[in-house]
Structure 1
């Protein structure tokens, strides 16, 4: 191979580089390390050395390196040119982000974000997020050693309560472990750099909007595994998914139409967001997804309180059509329903705040405005009536799921569900926006649940619900207004289902009699 051949190789490489997109060249620039530059310079230097070997011989500048394995000037130049092309091809095909490129990637992200080039930011973020998360979670030996030596958190004032020699020995031992552990780094510098990059990305609202619309799964996955992102930025990203009724999350929820044998919704394999969230429902807890859902939904309900609100208009085709899948309030209730069902099935101890559905119901009742044009004789006069029923339906479903589960651990979620169901009924019976027929309708839903609990020999759950139907909080006495309303509704309830009479006598009549005797 002579000079013309080498020039041909260089021309081919330059032509190939000219055809590459700016995004690809930027990607290559990020991944090139000092080691790569060294290899490239060495191969280039050898190519030039062999190309001008005759000139160097003439001037006595040839290196005393013998030819090996039958190579001569031309074959060696060809081999090095091939190695150079192979090296460049490998760098183009390489997908892993080197550790030394993390800082450069952060600088590129910052510049692209300032320029509003969210397409390239998302492309690079999506390509390297696995590497970033791997570096983020990596714990070198010295971090593990620090965690092993450092004592578990135990308040010093508790140890000081023990004035004996054993307590003093524990304090001295812990102090010594603290001193030794402080000599060892507790964090990995690379993990900190990666976390700073992720935090800076989610601080940009415009970028968060772009990610929520185009890469929602990427955003949720990274937020779940990053510990440095502030709550406000995490909640903002999830809120963006909720605000857009054309978002992938809404689309996936609208496809959850079937309930399997375990009473959980069947999630299609293609629905990556829901599968990621629900495969281990503790992911929902880690993301605190319930917080932005509550805030977003409550804000909407409070705004939609006038007689001109669409939610205070007749349902029309809202219930039986796909229109409800575009309703933010309905989708929030449904999202809680999907999450809590999975938590009951997985018997998780994580707190998912199912009582937030009670807050939805409370605000719905406050926002109901019965316009004179509304047909109050229909089952659901307005959309708000239907949405209120959905709150009751979700709660009763959750109760029915855990009532027959042998060995199911009574946890805070279950307690909140029972309390919330009773408290929702409390507000329904208390409000003057419902006539007795509508109050009977919702009260009968709760009585039906109490009856099923009694049949399952779970009377302690029934008592819990009944307690909060008559008194909003556990520590309060039954409200006289509630007892009077229940007593008045008894005849209507019997017409709904004659067996409900015995339930009223069992759980509410004693309270009514006690309140009456106190009056006397």
Structure 2
């Protein structure tokens, strides 16, 4: 009897299907697939394929003397077993593709894949890849693990000569290195062993180069800021060490898009906390909490510069924003401000600096951006119109000036809830229960008021109201004896702000606006009036 032939039609169908699919899969998807699998995964895949082929060629293997698989159990036969193995293999590949970890062994593939996606403009695919691997890439770029320390201990010392690491793994010893063959072999062996134990310097440099190239892409960072803001937040501290401008681009992109998480979180922070004007930090406001729960993080990362410069750039260069800010107020005070980049920047500073004050941080957190905001705003304001005197805030820009003054005044006023009668407070005090930020704000508010009063583009009524906010704060300080030092600093800088020049007419304008204040308020500020008159007399 002639034995039946081996039916390989099912096998050919499956192999043809795999080949056809692989042929039409984009190169980036192929790289992603290869990145998902390490040498052990490939061992499992090839072992499963060999077993499956073993079932197909069982008659041949039996003839050659290989043992058979024995009697079938639990109702399985050869066909169902082949199908089950294919199913398990597909499930294994899918599972491994979701649990890929970036290592020094597949860093080259990651480099090629991210380069392809970046230059092809596939930012969403790249963002998904970075969601899984950016933290690992940053870890490779600055490895501080136990294995890394052990590798450094194994790596040979090289005083007096340079070592050049090539991308292909070879090592070239520079001038001054010993020429002994034995030394060079021993040196290369120790380097190889160190690379086997932990990431080499070559790997760290390449990882840093990959991360720097990705995070320096303005378009990619803009996409990540909107689509993956919390990924950026999680890696921010390490990312800024590799690419210094990453945080700046991140906040610039957040402010440029009204739908970003930055606007929604700041709107959700419009509520008071436990004491004073301190604002609560809800758990869902993850980005704001990252910087403000421990304000030392904000100080260390310099977020005030990133936000401050982004706001100033929008004021200076955004013509559409300028037109909107100089238009009618309408509902800006209650609704529109939550979609405005300038208000977002002011409100973020308000939250951050208040947290710094209440956490007793001995750093002004660059609250002195407030005078810059005020100066740029008045420079972009339109000419005053007669009807402006009939409105409290004739334009959104006028309302933003109020927010600048009010935020700066709040940092001064909260000194009241953080101190008690009998406390000795000094401007240069940085330890203990100090109010360093309040003293800094008392200096900054003078410059804010000067820019507003000196501008011909600010209505007279608005000048009086904004000066009134500052004077009310000063009056409250003077009514508390233990805050006399703070009141003295505020009086001095309202009269002579830093950068004050005696040749301008600021003191005359200040005197005129002060005389137009409510008589009760002026009566409570006799010392301020006396010092203002003395300064005007000295300037003559």
TM-score w.r.t. the length of structure 2 is 0.73
Equivalent-residue separation in structure 2 for 1:12 and 1:279 (angstroms): 57
Q: Does residue 1:243 correspond to 2:256, yes or no?
A: yes
Equivalent-residue separation in structure 2 for 1:400 and 1:246 (angstroms): 33
Equivalent-residue separation in structure 1 for 2:535 and 2:263 (angstroms): 50
- The aligned residue for residue 167 of structure 1 is none
CA deviation string 1:16-48 (max 9, x = no partner): x96999788764431111222233334434554
Change in 2 beyond 3 A, CA 1:147/1:313: farther
TM-score w.r.t. the length of structure 1 is 0.75
Equivalent positions of 1:138-149 (< 5 A) are: 138-141=143-146, 144=149
1:310 deviation in Å? 3.6
- Which one is further off, 457-466 or 270-279? 270-279
Equivalent positions of 1:39-188 (< 5 A) are: 39-48=44-53, 52=57, 54-56=59-61, 58-59=63-64, 62=66, 72=70, 86=88, 88-94=90-96, 95-99=99-103, 100-133=105-138, 135=140, 138-141=143-146, 144=149
What SS does the corresponding residue of 1:295 show, helix, strand or coil?
A: helix
CA contact (8 A) 1:354 1:417 kept: yes
- The aligned residue for residue 285 of structure 2 is 271
CA contact (8 A) 1:278 1:342 kept: yes
Indicate which of 212, 215, 227 corresponds to 1:202: 215
1:108 deviation in Å? 0.6
1:241 deviation in Å? 1.0
- The aligned residue for residue 458 of structure 1 is 483
CA deviation string 1:301-321 (max 9, x = no partner): 345899x9443344233223x
- The aligned residue for residue 38 of structure 1 is 43
- The aligned residue for residue 396 of structure 1 is 409
CA deviation string 1:47-81 (max 9, x = no partner): 54565455345446x4xxx89xxx63867989898
Equivalent-residue separation in structure 2 for 1:26 and 1:186 (angstroms): 22
Alignment gaps of 5+ in structure 1: 149-182
Indicate which of 468, 475, 483 corresponds to 1:444: 468
What SS does the corresponding residue of 2:106 show, helix, strand or coil?
A: helix
Equivalent-residue separation in structure 2 for 1:417 and 1:31 (angstroms): 54
CA contact (8 A) 2:8 2:56 kept: no
Equivalent-residue separation in structure 2 for 1:323 and 1:440 (angstroms): 25
CA deviation string 1:169-227 (max 9, x = no partner): xxxxxxxxxxxxxx999986555444333222222233223223322222333333224
CA contact (8 A) 2:117 2:123 kept: yes
Q: Does residue 1:472 correspond to 2:470, yes or no?
A: no
Change in 2 beyond 3 A, CA 1:364/1:145: same
- The aligned residue for residue 344 of structure 1 is 357
Change in 2 beyond 3 A, CA 1:287/1:481: same
**How many residue pairs are counted as aligned between the two chains?**
470
What SS does the corresponding residue of 2:534 show, helix, strand or coil?
A: helix
Change in 2 beyond 3 A, CA 1:365/1:46: closer
- The aligned residue for residue 375 of structure 1 is 388
CA contact (8 A) 1:470 1:478 kept: no
CA RMSD across the alignment: 4.2
1:398 deviation in Å? 1.4
Q: Does residue 1:331 correspond to 2:344, yes or no?
A: yes
- Which one is further off, 455-464 or 483-492? 483-492
What SS does the corresponding residue of 1:258 show, helix, strand or coil?
A: coil
Equivalent-residue separation in structure 1 for 2:509 and 2:355 (angstroms): 36
Change in 2 beyond 3 A, CA 1:319/1:137: same
What SS does the corresponding residue of 2:389 show, helix, strand or coil?
A: coil
Equivalent-residue separation in structure 1 for 2:70 and 2:278 (angstroms): 73
CA contact (8 A) 2:475 2:524 kept: no
What SS does the corresponding residue of 1:408 show, helix, strand or coil?
A: coil
Indicate which of 499, 517, 529 corresponds to 1:493: 517
- The aligned residue for residue 428 of structure 1 is 452
1:97 deviation in Å? 1.0
